Chain A
Amino acid sequence: MKVLLEAKNVSKHFGGLKAVDNVDMVIYEGDIFGIIGPNGAGKTTFFNLCSGVFPVTGGEIYFNGENITNLRPDIIAKKGMARTFQNIKLFNYMSVLENIKIGFHIHSRTRMWDAILHTSVYKRDEKLAEEKGMEIIERVGLKDYKDILAGNLPYGMQRMVEIARALALDPKLLLLDEPAAGMNPNETMALMEFIKKLNHEGYTIAVIEHDMKFVMNTCNRIMVLNFGKKICEGDPEYVRSNKEVNEAYFGKGIVVQGGTM
């Protein structure tokens, strides 16, 4: 199996707070990799480190064999890592289709002159954005909503638009930050199926989730974070039976903080 994303001893400190502390992680090609943990465990911070939103305090991150530590988010995106955000970051005032068209940014190379003179490059890019954009919209089942402003959609649909927009990048790795938050049970079920389907199509996916059931049913490998530290990594069965994980989620008789680490 080929290693797609590898984190080596990655740390992020905010002042005295160790939001992410010496985490090692490997995502293989073809994985649906779940990252779980209680609130404030540093999951989103870890994602932000991988996608370049924050610089790391220590450690290194390799993507597809390349060192991407502390690169800018847009460069990392160009290398083939797309993500969604926990607090949805859609272009609220643009239609669904326009949102997705922006996702094709890295696959087009129109320059100022091309745009002004409508050269063949421009025409190719616009055609690509329009056609592939529609294709993706159909795939996520939002065809009827393509001209509606993204900000006006209900929450669950906004999540889907964000995933669709990330898919427009045609990424090697898709990072989903709590994709099921704010969805009703039906939508969540559909999302789980969709993620599995994407995986079958060849996408590698990493997903942060609170919902144990969601992660256990979709992911083939899981990492558990607590207080910024990795406490467990393995397949769902292993994680389910792990004592530390159960303690982190449900507590134990006498809670001694840090005692289990």
Chain B
Amino acid sequence: MNEIILKLKSIYDKYKIIIILAGSILLLLVPVIFPKSYIMGIICRILLYIILAGGLNVINGYSSQFCIGYAGFFCIGAYTEAILALRLKINFWLLLPIAGIVTAIAGLLICLPTLKLKGKYLALVTLGFSEIVRLIALNWSSLTGGPMGLKGIPVPKIFGIEFKNSLSYYYIFLFLVAIFLFVTRRVINSRIGRAWMSIREDEQAARSLGVDTSMYKALNFMYGAFWAGIAGAAYAPYTRYIDSTFFTLDEGFNILSMAIIGGMGTLIGPVAGSIVVNLLTELLRPISEYRLVAYAILIIAMMWLRPQGLFGASKSILAGKEIVKKARKAEKEAAA
């Protein structure tokens, strides 16, 4: 697996410009190649989940905080967009960043009490948080429509073009995925990304080097939540109807499966995860009730065989085992 990745990388480096050009033209032409709305629907799902799994990966993969209730943030983003669009008739393009910021603030509120604790606490708190958000969406009928949900969310428009089906909405998702990958790549390769990774590898050492770990963990969590908000805001006008059943814990586990199976700690991992898991979902459609069973088995198998996931960061603590063993050996030798 690692050799294949290296080989692909070297090919990519060689023909970088050609590959990027050809790739982007191909991506732009996808709706022409597959004019069927069924296939475009799947592709749109894949793109949506690239943002979601990718955002989750920033939290789980880069700073090793553990968020499980990511669907809660997705939910907040979607409801923020829908409510503001329906009530105040705010433009979709303005609502994207607004929903992102609202969700990031929610993320900050959730991670503040758990910053000083081990990551595992955060995991369970996010799980509870996700459930609470869903319950509020279900029960606060005057704002969220309760069990009836919110209907008739206006579709986005730009220069008179309406994005009202999956063929045209594809471009919105593609645009967002491109921005997400571009921005995240730059953040990861900067001092901020290095600080996140140092926290993942050894928090105490990071602190001794002057990394304000609490601040960077909060920043990391907000960044991840921000993209869930963006994804939610893009998703609401796509389906034009949302209710609380879209954002259950299972949805959170669905996103988590993509991040884990695709691989954490790299940008490409969640992309692969989203593609693999969504295609698997289509494959398993005849026995759809076994869908999550299949993911669960895949997750366990991944942990047993390749803890960092298909394309995850093999040079990180996520991969477990090898270096830990080597370090132990070195320690023993030193002691002897």
Contacts and interface: CB of A to CB of B under 8 A. Distances in A.
Q: Indicate, yes or no, whether A interacts with B.
A: yes
Interface of A: 51, 53, 72-75, 77-78, 82-83, 85, 89-94, 98, 101-106, 108, 110-112, 114-116, 118, 122, 125-126, 129, 149, 151-152, 154-155, 158, 165-166, 168-169, 181-182
Contacts of A155: 330-331, 333-334
Nearest to B195: A105
B210 A151 contact: no
B40 to A, nearest CB: 30
Contact of A74 (B210, B323, B331): B210
A125 B186 contact: no
Which of B186, B195, B219, B331: most chain A Cβ within 10 A? B186
Given A102-B209, A103-B209, A151-B323, A93 B194 contact: no
Given A93-B317, A116-B187, A155-B334, A74 B194 contact: no
B181 interface: no
Contacts of B208: 51, 53, 73-74, 77, 82-83, 85, 89
Interface of B: 183, 186-187, 189-195, 197-198, 201-202, 204-213, 219, 223, 313, 315-317, 319, 323-324, 326-327, 330-331, 333-335
Given A74-B212, A94-B197, A102-B198, A115 B187 contact: yes
Given A77-B207, A83-B208, A110-B191, A91 B198 contact: yes
Main secondary structure of the interface of B (DSSP, over half): helix
Sorted nearest first, the 10 A-B pairs with minimum C-beta distance are: A182-B334, A115-B190, A77-B210, A106-B210, A89-B205, A91-B201, A151-B323, A73-B207, A110-B191, A155-B334
A187 to B, nearest CB: 11
A110 B192 contact: yes
A152 B190 CA distance: 25
Given A91-B198, A91-B202, A93-B317, A74 B207 contact: yes
Of residues B192, B210, B319, B335, which shows the largest number of chain A Cβ atoms within 10 Å of its Cβ? B210
A91 B327 contact: no
Contacts of B316: 93
A93 B315 contact: yes
Given A105-B209, A112-B223, 10 more contacts: A51-B208, A74-B209, A74-B213, A77-B209, A90-B205, A93-B313, A94-B197, A94-B315, A111-B192, A115-B193
B55 to A, nearest CB: 15
B209 A115 contact: no
Contacts of A112: 187, 192, 219, 223
A105 B207 CA distance: 11
Nearest to B219: A112
Contact of A181 (B186, B206, B334): B334
Contacts of B319: 93
Nearest to A158: B330
A259 B330 CA distance: 40
7 contacts: A73-B208, A77-B208, A93-B313, A101-B194, A112-B187, A112-B219, A129-B191
Contacts of B198: 91, 102, 105
Contacts of A182: 334-335
A122 B186 CA distance: 10
B201 A106 contact: no
Nearest to B212: A74
A37 B295 CA distance: 56
Contacts of A122: 190
A89 B202 contact: yes
B193 to A, nearest CB: 8
B192 A106 contact: no
Nearest to A73: B207
B198 to A, nearest CB: 5
A130 B192 CA distance: 15
Instruction: Name which of B183, B315, B324, B334 has the most chain A CB atoms within 10 A of its CB.
Output: B334
B205 A85 contact: yes
A101 B191 CA distance: 9
Contacts of B194: 98, 101-102, 105
Q: Which of A92, A114, A122, A154 has the most CB of B within 10 A?
A: A92
A89 B323 contact: no
A165 B191 contact: no
Given A91-B205, A94-B201, A105 B187 contact: no
Contact of B327 (A53, A92, A98, A108): A92
B324 to A, nearest CB: 8
A108 B209 contact: no
